[in-house]
Chains A and B, each alone.
Chain A
Amino acid sequence: MGASAALDYDAQLMLRVKDGDGASFTELLEKHRSPVVHFLYRMVQDHAVAEELAQEVFLRVYRSRNTYEPTAKFTTWLFRIATHLALNWLRDGKNERGQERLDDATGDGPVLQVADRNVSVEQKLLYEVRLEEVRRAISTLPEKQRAAVLMHKYEEMEYSQIARVLECSESAVKSLLFRAYETLRVRLAHMA
């Protein structure tokens, strides 16, 4: 299915929600729930907060059903709401929560299964350390660069779509990404 077909389908679903079709909302929720939660998780690095913010995203989508106009791709609109909420959360609670999560050695990311007999304790520890380095490197990026990298890497969005989500030009997105990856290359170089 091409991108334009996907756009039409999501927008059509949203228009059906506007007409009072609850099943279409469920379909949109099922389709976009994981990408939104995962994006928010990588932005705020706290799973519980990410889920709370994702709830707010879908609540806003539902509240806006009567005024919804398919002027942009549905996912652009969805990620614009998600990014807006994540950036607000980071700006509001940065001092109290920012470093706290990073220093939490347990984290809430997935861990390697101990039952896997091929994975030694050393390998598991090494994996955890490397993962923590990646998380830390991402968290030190300026917020907009972080959002751009996450949308580019994990959501596989085009520059034009990231630009619409972040409400900036395409060249600004290229510049954000280039600087962000450059920082990551330097910060993670010692792991290579």
Chain B
Amino acid sequence: MNCPIRSEETVDLLLAYTARRLDPVKSALLERHMDVCPQCAEFRAGQDFVWKALDAWEAPPVTPDFNRRLYQRIEAEAAEPWYVRLFRVPLAGWKPAIPLAAAGLLVFAGFVYDHPVVAPNQPSSGGTVRVSVSEAEQVENTLDDLQLLRQLDSSAAAQPSESM
């Protein structure tokens, strides 16, 4: 027999042996091998010890009202409105929907990116006119020019009477 501890494929034979789950023929073969293989014998001794140590770890008994508490929860859930229960659908049922929803969202985002919505120029409401800063400056300059012309005009009209 080839040494099982040297191969990853057969090392579970040793685990199965210590768990007493190996069939009698294989167990006998392994025992004969362990008689001459110190490595496997050491493995068996160590594993036997772990097995016995784990055997000593008993779990405490289940509390007597376990069923009663469970049935209370079941009844409480049954009394809940349908829309609350709807959100309690087992998660496994939603699993295939999650990647689909993500893919759908991506397609939608791609579409929106490719077709940006251009807002049409809205007509002004309430009689207010939107003007840019440069337009306002232009109007101000024109008004200044008109003011200057008016001043020149009035001074030109006053000069002939003075000369006369």
Contact = CB atoms under 8 A, between A and B. Distances in A.
B70 A60 contact: no
Interface string A6-19: 00000000000000
Contact of B70 (A58, A159, A178): A58
Give the interface centre of B8, B19, B46, B77 by most chain A CB atoms within 10 Å: B46
B69 interface: yes
A33 B59 contact: no
A59 B73 contact: yes
A118 B95 CA distance: 57
Contacts of B103: none
A131 interface: yes
A185 B47 contact: yes
B30 to A, nearest CB: 16
Nearest to B69: A55
B62 A33 contact: yes
A142 B47 CA distance: 19
A37 interface: yes
B160 interface: no
Interface residues of A, number: 46
Contacts of B148: none
A47 B60 CA distance: 7
A174 B13 CA distance: 10
A62 B85 CA distance: 13
B155 interface: no
B54 interface: yes
A119 interface: no
B59 A59 contact: no
A167 interface: no
B49 interface: yes
A153 B20 CA distance: 11
Interface string A126-155: 010011011100100000000001001110
A72 interface: no
Contact of B12 (A47, A133, A177): A177
A59 B46 CA distance: 41
A62 B12 CA distance: 37
A34 B62 contact: yes
B157 interface: no
B66 A37 contact: yes
Interface of A: 26, 29, 33-34, 37-38, 41-42, 47, 51, 54-55, 58-60, 62-64, 67, 108-110, 127, 130-131, 133-135, 138, 149, 152-154, 156, 159, 174-175, 177-178, 181, 184-185, 188-189, 191-192
9 contacts: A51-B62, A54-B62, A54-B66, A63-B88, A110-B58, A130-B56, A134-B57, A156-B21, A177-B12
Given A34-B62, A108-B60, A109-B60, 5 more contacts: A33-B67, A54-B66, A178-B12, A184-B50, A189-B49
